[in-house]
Structure formats: structure tokens, C-alpha cells
Amino acid sequence: SPLAAAMATKRVTDEMRDRVVLGEFGVRNVHTTDFPGNYPGYDDAWDQRRFEEAFRVDVIREEEGALEFDMVGIDAAIANAFRRILLAEVPTMAVEKVFVYNNTSIVQDEILAHRLGLIPIKADPRLFEYRNQGDEEGTEIDTLQFQLKIKCSRNPQAAKESSDPNEIYLNHKVYSKHMTWVPLGNQTDLFPDADFRPVHDDILIALLRPGQEIDVLMHCVKGIGKDHAKFSPVATASYRLLPDITLLQPVEDEAAEKLQKCFSPGVIEIQNIKGKRVARVANARLDTFSREVFRHEGLKNLVRLARVRNHYIFSVESTGILPPDVLVSEAIKILMGKCQRFLNELDSVPME
């Protein structure tokens, strides 16, 4: 009947709009849907009220240094904008200039400078300004100064027959904890309770032998990941679409156990119903989509693997300079600033 046909068509269209389907040899429905006229009979024009009703953010897991949250009701372009801003446009402080007064270690000056640059510095970038282009000398508002001065010597108390470097040498391992903050100008008054230091104390910078020494001064400045990866505030910032697994018909007994093994642990559970072991999707979110199920002839037509198109699972892992929730809110502010700048630009351009 025409009604049944119309309903079937609607069902197919709904699937195209809402799901990315993973087949055996490819992925279907990957195009974006966020513009009108794409599907007959659907009003996909942008509407703020409708967006506000549908959009939500759920925080799933928050640990020190890591945050997992869901953003539901947005398009891939917006999700990707957040990811890229987190990676490349949220500023941090990092070592930019290294003044080498003495370095008799085996590590060359430029390698040492590079290693020092990559050490995350626990300093809130919001307290500082960007340094002006061509500025050689730093000032208290745009620069943090650290000193690393260490010399290796023999340990007179060591046992004669010992060959363990940790016993026979003193200061032979140079760690990030040996970096000390040297206040510039009036920084002691500006930051009375500041604790500027490397995020981790146990980063190994170099190995020394008796008589070798390192004496360097470092200038940390504010920068963004676009200019150099050392300024990136995140170890990783990524997103994936929410998995959606549907069993198209009952899967029982041996087939159920085989099916369970095809997915990540916790995705499929087996229930006892009237003496039969029946498979059920317990938590699709845990699946990594290895598509193992397609290798089994008897199972591959019983399951539909898909991803929910507008449900993004973000994971943000901070390097420890700022907590991940602060990074996300800073990224949102930066995106808002970009939008504002774009609107101002549109206003300022005279219309023809």
C-alpha cells in the first residue's frame, strides 16, 4: 500500500540522516546533513530554538588530567573546530630561549634546548601577555625565567668495589626538578603565592659524569600549538561517534557466545531466557568497531553496525598545565572570539 511504502521510505531516509552505517567493505552515509534541501520532506533549515532544545553536553568521566564528555546535536564541522582549537590555539607557557653559559655534558646545546622546550611548565598562561615580535629581553608580564645549574662529582662515601652510577656519582642525573624559578622584575610581588615549576619533577633531561656540568638560563613565553607543538596544552584531544549496534534477529546458544567474542568486552551480554542463552547488546559505547563479526558467515547478516551521526564522544587529555575542563572552556571562548571577529568583519565590509 502507498502508506506502507511511504513509511518504509521515511525509515530509510531517517537512517541516512541519523546513522553512519559500517558495512563489510565500506562505510555508508558519511556526508554531512546540516543544510536544508538534502532530504525531501524534512525541514533542515537552521533554527536556534530547535538547536537549543536538541543540543546537550554530558560529562561522562573526569579524572585528574583527563576528561570524557559527550556533545550531542552538533555537526562534524563544529566538533572538529573544538578539537583543532584544543590542539593548536589554546595558549600555554613553554621554554622559548635557552641561554647556555656552560654545557660540558654529552648532550649538544641545541638538543638540550629542544628537550627543555618540551618540558610542560606549570604556569597559568592567562596571567601573562604574548611577547612582542623582535623583543630580545623579556619583562615580568610576558616571560618566566628558570635556571638549571648542576655539576656532577664523585661520591666520596661510595663503596670501593661499587660500579652503580647511582652510588658512585652525585648529581649524575639531571631532572626537571633541578629547574628553579628566577623571578624577573617585580614578579615576587605580582605572584606572591605562585609556584612556577615543571609539571613533572622526574623528567630526565641529561646524564652527567664527574666534572661535567650544565649551567643554563631559560625564558618561558606564551605561545600556541600552531607555532610549535611544545605550546600544545593537550596530549591528545579526539572525538568519535557513539556506536550503535542492533541485533536484527535473536542470536542464541553457541552463536551468542561467538557473537560476544566478536565485540569488545562488555558490549554483548548473554541472558538465560527459558533455558536458552540469548545475546543482548549491553553497552554499545564500549565497542571499538573491529568489524570482527563480518568474518563469520553465519553472524554477519544478523547485526547492523552503525554510529550515531550527531553524538560525539570527546576525550581530552591535558599535559597538566591546566585541567582539561578549563581547556575546554578556553577553547569555547576562542571559538566565540572567532565568530565575533567574523561578524565584525561582515559589518565592516561596505556592501556593493
pLDDT in tens, 306-335: 999 989 999 999 999 999 999 999 999 999
Asked if residue 144 lies in contact with residue 178, where contact means CB atoms within 8 angstroms, the answer is no
Percent of the chain with pLDDT over 70: 98
Percent of the chain with pLDDT over 90: 65
- Give the pLDDT confidence score for residue 236 in this predicted structure: 92
Kindly report, residue by residue over 188-206, the tens digit of the pLDDT.
999 988 889 999 999 999 9
pLDDT reading at 13 higher than 90: no
C-alpha to C-alpha distance for 15 and 313, rounded to whole angstroms: 20
pTM (2 d.p.): 0.86
The pLDDT mean for the chain works out to 91
User: Using 50, 70 and 90 to split pLDDT, how confident is the model at 143?
Assistant: very high
Kindly report, residue by residue over 243-272, the tens digit of the pLDDT.
999 999 988 888 899 999 999 999 999 988
- Give the pLDDT confidence score for residue 75 in this predicted structure: 87
- Give the pLDDT confidence score for residue 352 in this predicted structure: 64
User: Using 50, 70 and 90 to split pLDDT, how confident is the model at 17?
Assistant: confident
Q: Domain boundaries in the chain?
A: 15-90+233-248+302-344, 92-231
User: Using 50, 70 and 90 to split pLDDT, how confident is the model at 233?
Assistant: very high
Average pLDDT over residues 157-162: 88
pLDDT reading at 177 higher than 90: yes
Q: How many CA atoms lie within 13 A of 191 on its CB side?
A: 18
Instruction: Report DSSP state, residue 252.
Output: B
Average pLDDT over residues 38-43: 75
Sign of the Cα torsion 332, 338, 342, 344 reads positive
Q: How many CA atoms lie within 13 A of 283 on its CB side?
A: 5
- Give the pLDDT confidence score for residue 34 in this predicted structure: 64
Q: Which residues are within 8 A (CB) of 167 and not within 5 positions of it... i.e. 6 or more apart?
A: 155, 158, 159
pLDDT reading at 139 higher than 70: yes
C-alpha to C-alpha distance for 241 and 251, rounded to whole angstroms: 26
Same fold, 15-90+233-248+302-344 and 92-231: no
Q: Does domain 92-231 have CATH number 3.40.50.2000?
A: no
pLDDT reading at 40 higher than 80: no
Strand partners, 276: 273
Correct CATH for 15-90+233-248+302-344 of 3.40.190.10, 3.30.1360.70, 3.60.20.10, 3.30.1360.10: 3.30.1360.10
* Range in 8-17, 167-176, 189-198, 300-309 with the lowest mean pLDDT: 8-17
- Give the pLDDT confidence score for residue 273 in this predicted structure: 85
pLDDT reading at 240 higher than 80: yes
- Give the pLDDT confidence score for residue 47 in this predicted structure: 85
Tell which residue, 349, 95, 126, 109, has the closest CA to residue 203.
Answer: 95
Kindly report, residue by residue over 64-116, the tens digit of the pLDDT.
899 999 999 988 889 999 999 999 999 999 999 999 999 999 999 999 999 99
Q: Which residues are within 8 A (CB) of 249 and not within 5 positions of it... i.e. 6 or more apart?
A: 302
| DSSP count for the chain of H helices, then E strands | 8, 18
pLDDT reading at 33 higher than 70: no
Residue with cell 552505517: 21
pLDDT reading at 220 higher than 70: yes
